[in-house]
Structure 1
Amino acid sequence: MSDRLAAAQAALNAGRREQAIEHLIAAVSEDPARAVQVYRALVVQLYNAGRFAEGESYAAQGLQRFPRDYDLLNTRGVLLRKLRRQAEAIPLFEQAIKLNPKALAAQQNLGNVLLDLGEAARAETVYTKLVRTQPRDPEFQRQLGRALAKLGRIDPALMRLRQAIALKRDSVEAWLDMIGILNEELRNAEAVETLDKALEALPGNQRLMEARVVLLRRSGQTKQAVAYLKSLLPSHPDDAWIHYQLGVMLTDQDRPQANAHLARAVELEPGKLDYATSYIESLERTRDAQEGAHIEHAYRLALPLLTRANEFNESATKILTEVFVRVCDYDAMDAVGDFTSLGRAWAKSGRHTALLKQLGRVRSDEDRLELVEQHRIWGREIEAAAARRTIRRPPPRPRGDKIRLGFMSSDLRAHPVGYFAMPLFDHIDRDRFEVFVYSYFTGQEDAAMRHITRQVAAYRWWPDIGVGEAAERIAEDQLDILIELGGSTHMNKLDVMAYRPAPLQASWLGYPHSAGLSSIDYFVCDPYSRPTRPEYLIETPLIMPHTWLALGKAFFSDHTEISPDLPSERNGFVTFGTANNPHKYGREVLRAWARVVAAVPGSKFAFVRPEASGESFQRNIARYFAEEGVSADRLIWRAVRGAHLPHYNDLDVTLDPFPLTGGTTTTESLWMGVPLITLVGEAFYERLSYSILSNAGLGDLCARSQDEFQALAVKLAVDTERRRALRKTIREDLRNSPLGQTEQFAKDFYDMVFRAVTERPGRKT
């Protein structure tokens, strides 16, 4: 044995792994022709040290000299899995299996990778062979159960998991897999019973106690989950998992307390990635007077995590992307992942809310179609799960005199969705319709909710309810059509639509893209917002004659006055600006805005956003403006949330983002007398402002290219007379337009729904 190898062995014997690794690296560097055992030892030690990229590199180097070595092939495959390069690992495991068919490690690892990649059928074949070889191995039984569950063969999966537990009663993983499957299948009573049995077998097990909390939360019993955690805290004050779960549970009830618990969890276990990312997410979502500072804090905590990219799961990539979006750090976003791989992973793992951030990243027609497919991927997963479950349904209702129409949204309250939908409740067509509302809102009842309740046949408010139970209860109302208005935004339950609780279903207003479910039949739009190609929608377009939204009087009132004078006359320079969310920005958007400012001498650009007080937000945006020749002193930062309408009095022209344009912000800008320039695209989310401007009689402010976008903005900036005229007349013009004719809008909407229900093929009369 050489001195290097002897030193490495001595270091290992003394428990000094890092020192041993350095000796082994030196050994193969000095003489690449070392024996295969040296490469094996080095790769294993790098794996144990968590240095996966280095380990994979040295395994590849060793395989160049020893291409038929089973151990190196298998270990390199394991390292590739750790690096989330599972597809590259498959041929390595397959080659190892051919070399030594009787060795089981590579076979098991192949099954694991196939499960990672969602190839459950191939994984089942692998695990079935392993179980036949060693039927009393509990892990093989467990993994076969997992594969069967992913194939939708639930009862055989549960049987395998029970066998795993019978063989190894303290197998926490098998207990958790069984509880998770029962919970996902809405077999809540069985899940609770199984959890109780697991705790009998493993009393006081932390992971099982945590599973109880998750089970309560997923079944809508948040209060019970919080109470259980608080009962544990006095005797376990330094258990990080309790602080973590409390933090997650309390985010909607008491954000400061939630942040304190999550910070404590990170302090107690700083190495736990999910603790760190959950704290980052909660900070990013903290809405108070210090919102910009919270975002900045979250961003600074997020940046160092990029060095741990090999550990990222879909939750981590979603949270980090959302933080980087908030501060416009597009380089960091790119480091997290690309448009296609991130979107498909989020969709496959059920993270529909993450797909909203994808809309602003579309850059080509290929991206548009890819985005539709990502939503379809999510929809297929959800519908497959719903198909395996049964919900109680009442017998068909005899056709009555009135159509039963349901609206499902947790935002039918003091919220933009509620304001835009309000005309439908103010002008219900009671001769033809009974209207029902379904909400899962967890906050306090407000005046808008009380008003809607007085108008409709029933306002079903279920703040603590699971998806399956919600679908059953909606089905009990025997609707003719159900329209969802929330997508997967906070507190909504889009999954309910997968159970088809109503024979006809539609989407409107809350989410600017097809949801992804084939069980949603229609998508409400208008002649302007309708996509240019049918491939950009999954549903059938349901076309309003003029506009897909109207300005509810409760929000679009004269309470906030328009300043009579132009900001450009007050200030001596033109002020462009935006109040849009940063997830609608991008490199191209910021540069296009900057080019407009650069083309209008002395002009400035205002960001009216809560992020505007953040140092990183300002620095990252200033970078892109500087590239177009606009200095930082020409940028205005207005850090505000909610009370932003008065700030439009300091803007001369609003510039729209693209491809995801404004919606609420576009109507607000016009209502406050500030004209807006938009870039019209092909898909629905690229045509929101186009529809609003066209219905407002301002279609000439809609550009078809970035060059025209700049030209129109510059032209409007110098057209003082037109801007002055719009400031004086625009509110009255909006009231007289289809956007402001709320009674006619409601009539058009109910006529449209009536036709959809009564003229559908196969309807019994």
Structure 2
Amino acid sequence: MDPRFAQAEAALQAGRYEEGVRLTEAALEADPKAPAGIYRSFTAILFRHRDFARAAKWAKAGAEQHPKDSELFNILGVALRRSGRLKEALQALDTAARLNPKNLAVLQNKGNVLNDLRDGPGAVEVFTKLVRAQPSNAEVQRGLGRGHHNSGDLAKAEMRYRLAVKLKPDNIDGWIDLLSLLSDAFRMAEAAEALDRAIAANPASARLLEAKAVMLRRAGRRRDADAYLTELARAHPDEAWIHHQIGLTVADYDRERANHHLRRAFELAPQNLDFRLSLAESLNRSRYGDESAHIEEAYQVVKGGLDRPITHPVQLKIASEVLMRVGAHAERDRLATFAEAGRRWAEAGMHAPLLAQMARVETPEDRHELIAQHRIWGDLVQAQAARSPISRPGPRAPDGKIRIGFMSSDLRNHPVAYFALPLFEHYDRSRFELYCYSFNQGEEDQIQRFITESVHAFRWWKDISDRDAAERIAADQLDILIELGGSTHMNKLPVMAYKPARRQASWVGYPHSAGPTAIDHIVLDPHLVPKDPRLLIETPLVMPKTWLALGRTFRDAHVIAGDLAEERNGFITFGTANNPHKYNERLIRTWARVVREVPGSKFAFIRPEGNAPSFRQHMADYFAAEGVSADRLVFHTVRGAHMPFYNEVDVTLDPFPLTGGTSTCEALWMGAPVVNLRGEALFERLSYSILSNVGLAHHSAETLDGYIDIAVKLAADREQRRELRRTLRERIKQSPLGQPEAFARDFYEMIAQAVAKEGAQAAVG
């Protein structure tokens, strides 16, 4: 046998882990037919160091050399499970069970994987056998409970969880599962009582103390959670998990304090990937101080963790968002494929990251896959809502008015409010009553105050659960509830799954079907409706001309320069102010091709990321790949006060496939023409709708070559650009986009017809 095995064993026994691993790997590569025991011992060491990906590699190598060794296949299954490769894990464990059917540990590992895959019936079958063989084993009782939980049989799940913690009061996982079940069912008093008993039995358990903070936060009681954790921190100032939980709890209303605690958690436990990524996420969302510095720090924090598998859906979301924001698309793509990422998020109940999926769509199959991902999420939240239905009042007495609800935390200084304002300014109070619902964690601003004063009721619930919000909305007895925010920050899209209104619709805030079939309609216009009806889940409510109009935030105070940027600079400037979550490598390289085709031209990024070194470098690399040097890139680092910078752009290049919306309106308002590539799905047609409504549909292309051709020809036509700079704002004002009162009239008439139709159908039924 290779003498390096002995050297490796000596190094490992001496605590020189990296040296021992390196020597063992070299020995196994030189002598792959080593005894099965060496492979088992080596993978056991890797497990102790939580080196699961490497353990899976060598367990697989050992199993290939010793195909009848059940234990190696068992180790391989567990290592693959810990690496997030669940389907491969199941195959390995099936082989292990076939080789040794009497090994109960293999059977238990298989049951755990089935539970991870949410195959409730399969897990129930496995754990029922185990419970018969080991009725006093708390862990198999818990596994059976998880199987029933995943099957939707909550009563049986609860019984097994309670039995597990009775058999073994220090079974922390059993307590956590029981608390999760009770919390999901909104049996909060029982959950609190169970948690008190769990902590009494395990007073030193950090996981249970942490569970209390999580439970308070999930119940919408963030400030109570803050107070509880702050008290714990006084007693235990160096407990990393406490700082981590404080950071998560206060982030929405005190970002700077959140970053302080998340940094402290990371300092105390630098190997904890969750702590690392939570810090990165909070930095990425930080708007105080130097935003570019926060973005760069977030990227470096994520980059430092990319040597480890990032498989958990939450970890994958955070890493993907940060990498996308600085343009690290290759690093992002290595984390997971389009389908893998989207399904992991949807199956984990995570909707927000699906927005960035739109920028990754390339094929017709991708479009339908994205619809499937939204359906998965919608079915999941509706199943959760069905397990705890809300109370509803009886029908309200007829009063001749249509009661409309608008639900969004963005009814403030935010693009959603910019487009919603006409509906609050122009409506017939004798026909309609408007109710608004916001969960904004910040302070009231001037726009929110205006909306509050314009509507019948503005319900502002900072600390509330999804279910409680749904029940309170139901108490308002709406005829229709319209959600405006999708799953963007601080919104509560899952409220729609409870169906708090008889009729429900989505509009403006999310450029895709949200997912739940409980949302009956989506408000569109003739330019937005996809030709393929399978690309929508809801039934469209189609406005006659446009799905949006420009509100009072589009002001003449935004001054348009009297000359062209080209005339001042001596060269053409292309540019964008769109968010990097709409970028992809194909898009950026297309922008570079446009610049390459126009000698001497430059490209301007009007973005707060502009001073982040990594963003600059990635953009420069993409442009260089198309033969465009870095000195032809311009970065205007600005947030909020960006409107004047459109005067520095001659031609705005729209992103694709996820196109601009607000940014397209802003560019046109400032006289900067927009070139667009339209596609088949809703999110690929937003700019096309806007351009069509101002008579510029000819600036929208159906092909990539057409997009480049339009941009190059527009750059060459100085007179056309001068005319557009001079007249575009007035053209917008005269277009459907610039007629907010007519837009509101059309909108409310459409809603009235939808409500009347629903009432007529109910009467017939």
Equivalent position amino acid for 1:629 in 2? G
For residues 571 and 2 of structure 2, the distance between their equivalents in structure 1, rounded to whole angstroms, comes to: 77
Does the 8 Å CA contact 2:572/2:650 hold for their aligned counterparts?
yes
Q: Which residue does 2:580 correspond to in 1?
A: 582
Between 353-362 and 696-705, the greater mean CA deviation after superposition: 696-705
Give the fraction of aligned pairs with identical amino acids, expressed as a percent.
53
Between 50-59 and 567-576, the greater mean CA deviation after superposition: 50-59
Q: TM-score, normalised by structure 2?
A: 0.97
The Cα of 1:102 is off from its aligned counterpart by 2.2
* 1:418-567 aligned within 5 A: 418-553=417-552, 555-567=553-565
Does the 8 Å CA contact 1:471/1:501 hold for their aligned counterparts?
yes
The Cα of 1:245 is off from its aligned counterpart by 0.9
For residues 30 and 600 of structure 1, the distance between their equivalents in structure 2, rounded to whole angstroms, comes to: 57
* 1:268-417 aligned within 5 A: 268-309=268-309, 312-417=311-416
For residues 697 and 57 of structure 1, the distance between their equivalents in structure 2, rounded to whole angstroms, comes to: 60
Task: Check if 1:650 corresponds to 2:633.
Answer: no
Q: Which residue does 2:62 correspond to in 1?
A: 62
For residues 26 and 458 of structure 2, the distance between their equivalents in structure 1, rounded to whole angstroms, comes to: 72
User: In structure 2, which of residues 701, 704, 707 is the aligned counterpart of residue 706 of structure 1?
Assistant: 704
For residues 353 and 6 of structure 2, the distance between their equivalents in structure 1, rounded to whole angstroms, comes to: 52
Equivalent position amino acid for 2:335 in 1? V
Between 596-605 and 315-324, the greater mean CA deviation after superposition: 596-605
The Cα of 1:399 is off from its aligned counterpart by 3.8
The Cα of 1:28 is off from its aligned counterpart by 4.7
**1:10–1:190 distance in 2 versus 1, CA, 3 Å:** same
Between 283-292 and 579-588, the greater mean CA deviation after superposition: 283-292
**1:6–1:620 distance in 2 versus 1, CA, 3 Å:** closer
For residues 718 and 288 of structure 1, the distance between their equivalents in structure 2, rounded to whole angstroms, comes to: 41
Q: Which residue does 1:241 correspond to in 2?
A: 241
Deviation sequence 1:271-325 (CA, Å, 0-9, x none): 111000000111111113411111111111211211101x531111111110111
The Cα of 1:13 is off from its aligned counterpart by 6.1
**1:566–1:62 distance in 2 versus 1, CA, 3 Å:** closer
User: In structure 2, which of residues 670, 685, 709 is the aligned counterpart of residue 672 of structure 1?
Assistant: 670
For residues 558 and 510 of structure 1, the distance between their equivalents in structure 2, rounded to whole angstroms, comes to: 25
The Cα of 1:682 is off from its aligned counterpart by 0.8
For residues 286 and 28 of structure 1, the distance between their equivalents in structure 2, rounded to whole angstroms, comes to: 48
Give the secondary structure class of the aligned counterpart of 1:62.
helix
The Cα of 1:498 is off from its aligned counterpart by 0.2
**1:628–1:203 distance in 2 versus 1, CA, 3 Å:** same
Q: Which residue does 1:599 correspond to in 2?
A: 597
Does the 8 Å CA contact 2:84/2:312 hold for their aligned counterparts?
no
For residues 15 and 289 of structure 1, the distance between their equivalents in structure 2, rounded to whole angstroms, comes to: 45
The Cα of 1:24 is off from its aligned counterpart by 5.2
For residues 421 and 548 of structure 2, the distance between their equivalents in structure 1, rounded to whole angstroms, comes to: 10
The Cα of 1:372 is off from its aligned counterpart by 0.5
Deviation sequence 1:497-528 (CA, Å, 0-9, x none): 00000111000010000000100010100001
For residues 657 and 46 of structure 2, the distance between their equivalents in structure 1, rounded to whole angstroms, comes to: 45
For residues 531 and 437 of structure 1, the distance between their equivalents in structure 2, rounded to whole angstroms, comes to: 30
For residues 9 and 711 of structure 1, the distance between their equivalents in structure 2, rounded to whole angstroms, comes to: 66
The Cα of 1:736 is off from its aligned counterpart by 1.2
Q: Which residue does 1:171 correspond to in 2?
A: 171
**1:277–1:17 distance in 2 versus 1, CA, 3 Å:** closer
Task: Check if 1:76 corresponds to 2:84.
Answer: no
Does the 8 Å CA contact 1:24/1:38 hold for their aligned counterparts?
no
For residues 656 and 265 of structure 2, the distance between their equivalents in structure 1, rounded to whole angstroms, comes to: 39
Between 709-718 and 746-755, the greater mean CA deviation after superposition: 709-718
Equivalent position amino acid for 1:174 in 2? G
**1:18–1:559 distance in 2 versus 1, CA, 3 Å:** closer
Equivalent position amino acid for 2:450 in 1? H
Deviation sequence 1:316-350 (CA, Å, 0-9, x none): 11111101111111111111111000010011111
Does the 8 Å CA contact 1:440/1:492 hold for their aligned counterparts?
yes
Equivalent position amino acid for 1:466 in 2? S
For residues 711 and 20 of structure 1, the distance between their equivalents in structure 2, rounded to whole angstroms, comes to: 60
Q: Which residue does 1:624 correspond to in 2?
A: 622
Give the secondary structure class of the aligned counterpart of 2:599.
coil
Give the secondary structure class of the aligned counterpart of 1:108.
helix
The Cα of 1:355 is off from its aligned counterpart by 0.4
Equivalent position amino acid for 1:355 in 2? L
For residues 54 and 138 of structure 1, the distance between their equivalents in structure 2, rounded to whole angstroms, comes to: 31
State how many pairs are aligned.
Answer: 763
For residues 52 and 240 of structure 1, the distance between their equivalents in structure 2, rounded to whole angstroms, comes to: 24
Does the 8 Å CA contact 2:673/2:721 hold for their aligned counterparts?
yes
Between 444-453 and 560-569, the greater mean CA deviation after superposition: 444-453
Q: Which residue does 1:684 correspond to in 2?
A: 682
Deviation sequence 1:357-383 (CA, Å, 0-9, x none): 101111111111100111011111101
Does the 8 Å CA contact 2:404/2:435 hold for their aligned counterparts?
yes
For residues 388 and 207 of structure 1, the distance between their equivalents in structure 2, rounded to whole angstroms, comes to: 26
Deviation sequence 1:440-466 (CA, Å, 0-9, x none): 111111222222222211111111111
**1:172–1:420 distance in 2 versus 1, CA, 3 Å:** same
Give the secondary structure class of the aligned counterpart of 1:367.
helix
**1:451–1:9 distance in 2 versus 1, CA, 3 Å:** closer
For residues 566 and 8 of structure 2, the distance between their equivalents in structure 1, rounded to whole angstroms, comes to: 74
Does the 8 Å CA contact 1:25/1:42 hold for their aligned counterparts?
no
Equivalent position amino acid for 2:665 in 1? T
**1:203–1:641 distance in 2 versus 1, CA, 3 Å:** same
Equivalent position amino acid for 2:169 in 1? R
For residues 479 and 754 of structure 1, the distance between their equivalents in structure 2, rounded to whole angstroms, comes to: 13
For residues 22 and 574 of structure 2, the distance between their equivalents in structure 1, rounded to whole angstroms, comes to: 58
**1:698–1:7 distance in 2 versus 1, CA, 3 Å:** closer
Q: Which consecutive residues of structure 2, in runs of 5 or more, have no partner in the other structure?
A: none
Give the secondary structure class of the aligned counterpart of 1:436.
strand
The Cα of 1:620 is off from its aligned counterpart by 0.8
Equivalent position amino acid for 1:170 in 2? D
Does the 8 Å CA contact 2:256/2:288 hold for their aligned counterparts?
no
Q: Which residue does 2:753 correspond to in 1?
A: 755
* 1:106-145 aligned within 5 A: 106-145=106-145
Q: Which residue does 1:693 correspond to in 2?
A: 691
Q: Which residue does 1:262 correspond to in 2?
A: 262
For residues 289 and 697 of structure 1, the distance between their equivalents in structure 2, rounded to whole angstroms, comes to: 42
Does the 8 Å CA contact 2:119/2:151 hold for their aligned counterparts?
no
Give the secondary structure class of the aligned counterpart of 1:438.
strand
The Cα of 1:6 is off from its aligned counterpart by 6.2
For residues 63 and 33 of structure 1, the distance between their equivalents in structure 2, rounded to whole angstroms, comes to: 11
For residues 737 and 524 of structure 2, the distance between their equivalents in structure 1, rounded to whole angstroms, comes to: 14
Does the 8 Å CA contact 2:83/2:311 hold for their aligned counterparts?
no
Give the secondary structure class of the aligned counterpart of 1:642.
coil
For residues 638 and 505 of structure 1, the distance between their equivalents in structure 2, rounded to whole angstroms, comes to: 41
For residues 602 and 21 of structure 1, the distance between their equivalents in structure 2, rounded to whole angstroms, comes to: 55
For residues 280 and 432 of structure 1, the distance between their equivalents in structure 2, rounded to whole angstroms, comes to: 49
The Cα of 1:632 is off from its aligned counterpart by 1.1
**1:730–1:18 distance in 2 versus 1, CA, 3 Å:** closer
Aligned CA-pair RMSD = 1.8
**1:109–1:668 distance in 2 versus 1, CA, 3 Å:** same
Give the secondary structure class of the aligned counterpart of 2:519.
coil
Task: Check if 1:104 corresponds to 2:104.
Answer: yes
The Cα of 1:8 is off from its aligned counterpart by 6.3
**1:283–1:18 distance in 2 versus 1, CA, 3 Å:** closer
**1:28–1:452 distance in 2 versus 1, CA, 3 Å:** closer
Give the secondary structure class of the aligned counterpart of 1:40.
helix
Does the 8 Å CA contact 2:81/2:89 hold for their aligned counterparts?
yes
Give the secondary structure class of the aligned counterpart of 2:725.
helix
**1:391–1:564 distance in 2 versus 1, CA, 3 Å:** same
Does the 8 Å CA contact 2:646/2:670 hold for their aligned counterparts?
yes
